[in-house]
């Protein structure tokens, strides 16, 4: 039986040490192969052998450690703080801090100490701090030290020296710090929560001619779903009846609506703004494109970047170091209050939060723009990348050939040549034949079917119109006839030529090429300005075509490459110490996308291969998203570095002031919330990402060509 990977919701974690405890608990279960736990998302990603261990055994291993554990969506929702309360919550904390400062300044706490008996203070401290103290005791029974252990020792020290009012205020600040951390994490995940709320939970299904509303779990493949104006489409499927204007921004990030009708594929969570539809169901629930997006984003939350792993290692050593500093403070000063202040001001949780909060904010905000990022480690790799490798067909180009030039070599006009070729190619299924017919349609030309039609394998096609025999094909149909210089120049440009012969005489040439995307030149130039030392095109196309396209883009190229040869190029750069980004269409480029440090799949909505192989998926064909992804990654890492820098500086200053007796225990406890709020405010800037395309930086359309 193959290994299985599942996500578990874990509640009750409040520091990096908690994640390590959960990881150790799960790894100790026989049959578990890999575990990744995210403090930020309260998720554990577990890879295990279902023949050796069950889900219930995994959850039991976690709950035995004192944490809540369940499958996502089956346990209680702990998101009791939302972004709607963001500023009131921050002002409440500020007011509480100010109240404590004023009370301490005027000596109100000292007066309370004299008027209330010690046992009243003890009961108040135990009552207010019970949830925290219970965790500390449970951890102690397991021979473990957690972040709250230090704060509990600080409270105990304050009680022993008679600072009862200080002890109760410290407990209150401990609770405030817990709520602040929870609020910070909830704020970071809000963009992802907003996405999940867009998935409809019910659908109008037409069965036996009767319309009925069913939970989405009861909808089956092949059912007919009815969608009315203003409804969100509940499934992936194909329109079989009706027409509507559909906003697909939840899938592609593109705000412009699209017109859909019979035969058009539509996606769950997109909005039918105008018109009604009847849709045949292809996929529902987690199998839809939107469902896979949510699953991939939630899995991405459990993946740790190098920066986060470093922060976790720092946090693991931090508690023993602070304990040592507190002990040294007591030995040298014999001041229990200074010792308590050292234990209270140290904020270990901020180290664990500094990286994931920023990563989550970016992943959620990017998903709303149509950028699906599979994890923080890929953001970090993208921020450091210096080599960009790009596929040609379907990536730099549109992926479909178009007629770019028509050359008349006889008595026929260009329009007559195109009309004649389109008439002859009317029954051909070749992509070039489709390009010819499309060009004729665009010019409004009318053409009639031939009397007879035959394919010439390896040559082209032959059709007869009355007494005229028309042949369209490659150079092999020329039968030794020479072509003028201007036709040879089209060959040098890498274009594919179709020769038109009428009754054996060469009358004209049609040149076809896979057109360059209108915004490719601008955005490749944009990527160069972002510091990529190498930008190179990898293509399986022939040399002339590759060279012509590379010259327009002003980049290096390699032609005639097989998929395995593209992988070899990626590995060669990696062996030289470079961080490599590969941009492809997610199908034949899948191996190279997977091998690269960051694989980016271009606009492959619903493509399984793209979602599996790539590390970053562009949910629409928009090249502007590529440089925007790089900017997001670099901006995220700047925020991460500033979060870590602020946390280190704050704790260094706070512990130093506390050790020298300058920072009293009450203020030390109050300061606990400052790093969390600072990280939240700093990381929240990532939730307001600028749109990928800036109006003042529009693409250079003048470069559009074959």
Could you give the residue numbers annotated as active site? 391
Place of tokens 């001041």: 335
Q: What is the largest CA-CA distance in the chain?
A: 118
Torsional sign, CA 692, 697, 701, 702: negative
Burial class (CB in 10 A: 0-12, 13-18, 19+), 445: middle
Burial class (CB in 10 A: 0-12, 13-18, 19+), 77: exposed
Taking residue 246's Cβ as centre, other Cβ atoms within 10 Å add up to 24
Burial class (CB in 10 A: 0-12, 13-18, 19+), 335: middle
Q: Which helix (H) or strand (E) holds 500?
A: strand 496-502
Distance from C-alpha of 88 to C-alpha of 93, rounded to nearest angstrom: 9
The backbone region for 636, taken as left when phi is positive above 0, alpha when psi lies in -120 to 50, beta otherwise, is alpha
Which string of b and e fits 141-158 if b means at least 16 CB within 10 Å? Answer: eeebebbbbbbbbbbbbb
User: Is beta strand 452-456 parallel, antiparallel or unpaired with respect to 460-465?
Assistant: antiparallel
- Vertex 307 angle, CA 304 and 311, to 5°: 90
Q: What is the DSSP letter of 686?
A: G
Q: Who contacts 654 (Cβ-Cβ below 8 Å, separation ≥6)?
A: 345, 346, 347, 663, 668, 671
Distance from C-alpha of 525 to C-alpha of 527, rounded to nearest angstrom: 5
DSSP letter for each residue of 428-440: --SHHHHHHHHHH
Distance from C-alpha of 173 to C-alpha of 665, rounded to nearest angstrom: 11
Distance from C-alpha of 246 to C-alpha of 260, rounded to nearest angstrom: 7
Asked if 275 contacts 245 with a C-beta cutoff of 8 angstroms, the reply is yes
Q: Where are the beta strands (DSSP E) in 18-89?
A: 32-38, 43-48, 68-70
Query: What tokens does 626 get?
Result: 């590529």
């Amino acid at each position: 039986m193959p290994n299985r990977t599942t996500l578990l919701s874990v509640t009750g974690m409040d520091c990096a040490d908690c994640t390590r405890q959960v990881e150790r608990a799960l790894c100790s279960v026989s049959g578990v192969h890999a575990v990744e736990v995210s403090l930020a998302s309260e998720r554990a990603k577990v890879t295990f052998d279902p023949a050796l261990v069950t889900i219930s055994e995994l959850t039991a291993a976690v709950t035995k450690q004192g944490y809540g554990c369940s499958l996502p969506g089956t346990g209680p929702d702990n998101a009791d703080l939302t972004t709607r309360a963001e500023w009131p919550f921050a002002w409440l904390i500020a007011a509480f801090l100010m109240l404590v400062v004023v009370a301490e300044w005027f000596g109100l706490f000292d007066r309370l100490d004299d008027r209330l008996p010690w046992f009243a203070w003890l009961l108040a401290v135990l009552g207010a701090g019970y949830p925290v103290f219970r965790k500390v005791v449970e951890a102690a029974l397991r021979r473990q030290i957690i972040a709250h252990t230090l704060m509990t020792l600080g409270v105990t020290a304050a009680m022993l020296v008679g600072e009862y009012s200080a002890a109760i205020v410290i407990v209150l600040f401990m609770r405030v710090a817990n709520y602040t951390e929870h609020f910070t994490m909830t704020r970071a995940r809000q963009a992802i929560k907003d996405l999940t709320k867009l998935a409809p939970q019910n659908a109008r299904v037409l069965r036996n001619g009767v319309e009925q509303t069913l939970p989405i779990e009861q909808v089956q493949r092949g059912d007919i779903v009815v969608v009315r104006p203003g409804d969100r489409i509940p499934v992936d499927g194909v329109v079989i009846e009706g027409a509507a204007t559909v906003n697909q921004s939840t899938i592609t990030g593109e705000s412009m609506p699209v017109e859909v009708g019979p035969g058009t594929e539509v996606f769950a969570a997109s909005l039918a703004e105008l018109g009604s539809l009847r849709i045949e169901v292809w996929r529902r629930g987690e199998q839809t494109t939107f469902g896979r997006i949510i699953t991939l984003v939630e899995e991405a939350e459990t993946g740790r970047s190098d920066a986060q792993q470093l922060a976790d290692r720092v946090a693991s050593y931090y508690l023993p170091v602070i304990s040592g500093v507190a002990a040294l403070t007591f030995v040298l000063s014999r001041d229990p209050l200074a010792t308590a202040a050292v234990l209270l001001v140290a904020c270990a949780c901020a180290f664990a939060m500094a990286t994931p909060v920023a990563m989550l904010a970016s992943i959620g905000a990017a998903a709303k723009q149509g950028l699906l990022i599979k994890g923080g480690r890929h953001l970090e790799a993208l921020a450091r990348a210096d080599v960009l490798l790009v596929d040609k067909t379907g990536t730099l180009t549109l992926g479909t050939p178009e007629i770019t030039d028509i050359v008349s070599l006889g008595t026929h006009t260009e329009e007559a040549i195109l009309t004649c070729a389109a008439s002859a190619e009317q029954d051909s299924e070749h992509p070039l034949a489709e390009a010819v017919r499309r060009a004729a349609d665009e010019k409004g030309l009318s053409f009639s079917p031939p009397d007879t039609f035959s394919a010439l394998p390896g040559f082209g096609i032959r059709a007869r119109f009355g007494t005229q025999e028309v042949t369209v094909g490659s150079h092999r149909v020329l039968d030794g006839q020479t072509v003028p210089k201007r036709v040879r120049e089209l060959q040098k440009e890498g274009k594919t030529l179709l020769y038109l012969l009428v009754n054996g005489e060469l009358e004209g040439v049609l040149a076809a090429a896979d057109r360059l995307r209108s915004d490719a030149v601008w955005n490749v130039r944009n990527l160069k300005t972002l510091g990529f030392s190498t930008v190179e095109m990898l293509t399986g196309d022939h040399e002339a075509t590759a060279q012509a396209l590379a010259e327009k883009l002003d980049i290096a190229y390699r032609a005639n490459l097989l998929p395995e040869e593209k992988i070899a190029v990626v590995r060669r750069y990696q062996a030289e110490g470079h961080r490599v980004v590969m941009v492809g269409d997610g199908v034949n480029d899948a191996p190279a996308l997977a091998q690269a440090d960051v694989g980016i799949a271009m606009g492959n909505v619903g493509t399984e291969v793209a979602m599996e192989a790539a590390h970053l998926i562009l949910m629409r064909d928009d090249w502007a998203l590529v440089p925007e992804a790089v900017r997001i990654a670099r901006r995220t890492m700047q925020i991460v570095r500033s979060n870590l820098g602020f946390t280190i500086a704050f704790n260094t200053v706070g512990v130093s002031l506390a050790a020298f007796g300058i920072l009293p225990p009450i203020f030390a406890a109050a300061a606990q919330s400052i790093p969390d709020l600072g990280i939240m405010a700093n990381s929240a800037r990532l939730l307001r990402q600028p749109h990928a395309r800036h109006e003042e930086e529009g693409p250079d359309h003048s470069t559009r060509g074959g």
